[in-house]
């Protein structure tokens, strides 16, 4: 078997193309959607991510604002910045790029973003909505993976899904989104016994671990759909490698998201989708 490649760029372009008329309509009748991104300090990876987010906003006609407090910012100062953004009507989404410096109480900062402007879907109110399956902003990477599965018409109901990783950003919301689509879901983590055996039972295997090539051929049931969320630096530090052994996935899986080019492009697309959704909500319902 040679796996069908699930192309994240194709899915991203579809998502963005669907957003464009919604943005134009809002801009013509009221104002464009607005996203504020807070980037503390000079973490190289964070700077790249934020650049990508701001650039995509520009391409779509979403108003964006980058706020760059210094590395030594205090929790109180950040809370003040967020409170200001919470109050501004033209800002629909607030994104605090993580990681934050050690002196900052990340939890307080996260809690201070108004839930209806939490376009990352990290606020406990939005996490609660996810658990209860109530519409609210969803974490972008898992939401993007669900879009990808939908657009490639990959059946989920009744399938056995295994998610490796239980982070608040990827693993947990991923598992809940699959559960809401009636998959039978197992969540694995670093203390899971017989990880390969658990994974091998999966019809849909999602690897969100952060360990290069941890998922080898022993983990993959022939015919499984394999979603590789991992974004790891390769040994020479230049390219990206996933959590899944690509050769094994290509040989055994029925469908596979490569790294790069699979899941990666979806996150920013879903951030844009969450921002547009928030703006529509704000403009219609205040
Ligand atoms: P994280 O917070 O570090 O969580 C990693 C998870 O993997 C944890 O739950 C951990 O288990 C589990 N794990 C670690 N080693 C393991 C092992 N040997 N066996 C089984 N489980 C193991 O990472 P994250 O933020 O979820 O990100 C995961 C990966 O996805 C990273 O490579 C990240 O760069 C990538 N990512 C990509 C995108 C994107 O493509 N747009 C977005 C977000 C993240 P414990 O809980 O037991 O420690």
Chunked into runs of 10 residues, the chain (286 residues) has average pLDDT values of: 94 98 97 98 92 98 98 98 98 96 96 98 98 98 98 98 98 98 99 98 98 98 98 89 98 98 97 98 89
Residue 236 has what pLDDT? 86
Q: In this predicted structure, what is the pLDDT of residue 237?
A: 83
CB 35 within 8 A of CB 57: yes
- Torsional sign, CA 95, 99, 100, 104: positive
**CA neighbours closer than 13 Å in the CB half-sphere of residue 154:** 28
Residues assigned a catalytic role = 53, 97, 120
Closest residue by Cα to atom 31, ligand 1, is: 210
pLDDT number for residue 285 = 83
Which is the closest atom of ligand 1 to the Cα of 268? 41
Q: What is the pLDDT of residue 238?
A: 83
> Would you tell me how many other CB atoms lie within 10 Å of the CB of residue 20?
13
Q: Which of 143, 231, 232, 259 to mutate to test the pocket of ligand 1 (most atoms within 8 A of CB)?
A: 231
Residue 170 CA, closest ligand 1 atom number: 26
d(CA 44, CA 31): 33
Name all residues whose Cβ lies below 6 A of ligand 1: 141, 164-167, 169-171, 188-192, 195, 208-211, 214, 229-232, 263-264, 267
Measured by CA distance, the residue closest to atom 1 of ligand 1 is 167
What number does the ligand 1 atom closest to the CA of 242 have?
A: 32
Atom number of ligand 1 nearest to Cα 243: 32
**What pLDDT, on the 0 to 100 scale, is given for residue 1?**
67
Q: Which residue is closest in CA terms to ligand 1's atom 30?
A: 230
Q: What is the rounded distance in angstroms from the CA atom of residue 11 to the CA atom of residue 258?
A: 13
| Closest CA to ligand 1's atom 5 | 209
- The pTM score is 0.97
d(C-alpha 86, C-alpha 88), whole Å: 6
Residue 181 neighbours by CB under 8 Å, 6+ apart: 146, 156, 157
Ligand 1 centroid vs 207 CA: distance in angstroms? 8
Q: How many angstroms separate the alpha carbon of residue 209 from the centre of ligand 1?
A: 3
Question: How much distance in Å is there from the Cα of 243 to the middle of ligand 1?
Answer: 9
Ligand 1 mean position to 170 CA, how many Å? Answer: 8
CA–centroid distance, 164 to ligand 1, in Å, is 8
As a three-state string, the secondary structure of the chain is CCCEECCHHHHHHHHHHHHHHHHHHHHHHCCCCEEEEECCCCCHHHHHHHHHHHHHHHHHCCEEEEECCCCCCCHHHHHHHHHHHHHCCCCCEEEECCCCCCCCCHHHHHHHCCHHHCCCCCCHHHHHHHHHCCCCCCCHHHHHHHHHHHHCCCCCCCCEEEEECCCCCCHHHHHHHHHHCCCEEEEECCCCCCHHHHHHCCCEEEECCCCCCCECHHHCCCCCEEEECCCEECCCCCCEECCECHHHHHHHCCEECCCCCCCCCHHHHHHHHHHHHHHHHHHHHC
How far apart CA 281 and CA 97 sit, in angstroms, is 23
Residue nearest to atom 16 of ligand 1 (CA): 190
φ, ψ dihedrals at 154, nearest 5°? -90, 120
Task: Give the span between the Cα atoms of 136 and 277, in whole angstroms.
Answer: 9
Q: Ligand 1 centroid vs 192 CA: distance in angstroms?
A: 14
Please give the number of the atom of ligand 1 that sits closest to the Cα of 229.
30
Please name the residue whose Cα sits nearest to atom 41 of ligand 1. Answer: 264
């Amino acid at each position: 078997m040679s796996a069908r490649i699930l192309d994240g760029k194709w899915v991203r372009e579809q998502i963005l193309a669907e957003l464009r008329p919604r943005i134009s309509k809002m801009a013509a009748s009221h104002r464009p959607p607005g996203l504020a991104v807070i980037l503390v300090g000079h973490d190289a990876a964070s700077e790249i991510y934020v650049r990508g987010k701001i650039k995509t906003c520009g391409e779509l006609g979403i108003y964006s604002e980058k706020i760059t407090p210094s590395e030594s910012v205090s929790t109180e100062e950040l809370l003040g910045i967020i409170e200001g953004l919470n109050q501004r009507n033209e800002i629909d989404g607030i994104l605090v790029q993580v990681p934050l410096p050690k002196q900052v109480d990340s939890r307080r900062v996260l809690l201070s973003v108004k839930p209806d402007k939490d376009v990352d879907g990290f606020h406990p109110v939005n996490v609660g909505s996810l658990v209860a399956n109530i519409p609210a902003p969803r974490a972008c990477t898992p939401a993007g993976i669900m879009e990808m599965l939908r657009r490639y018409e990959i059946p989920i109901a009744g399938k056995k899904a295994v998610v490796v990783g239980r982070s608040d950003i990827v693993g947990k919301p991923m598992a809940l989104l699959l559960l809401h689509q009636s998959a039978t879901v197992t969540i694995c983590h670093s203390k899971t016994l017989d990880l390969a055996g658990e994974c091998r039972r999966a019809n849909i295997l999602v690897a969100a671990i952060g360990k290069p090539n941890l998922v080898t051929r022993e983990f993959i049931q022939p015919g499984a759909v394999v979603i590789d969320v991992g974004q790891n630096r390769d040994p020479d530090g230049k390219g990206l490698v996933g959590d899944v052994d690509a050769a094994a996935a290509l040989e055994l899986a029925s469908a596979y998201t490569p790294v790069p080019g699979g899941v990666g492009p979806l996150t920013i697309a879903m951030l844009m989708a969450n921002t547009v959704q928030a703006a529509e909500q704000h403009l219609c319902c205040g």
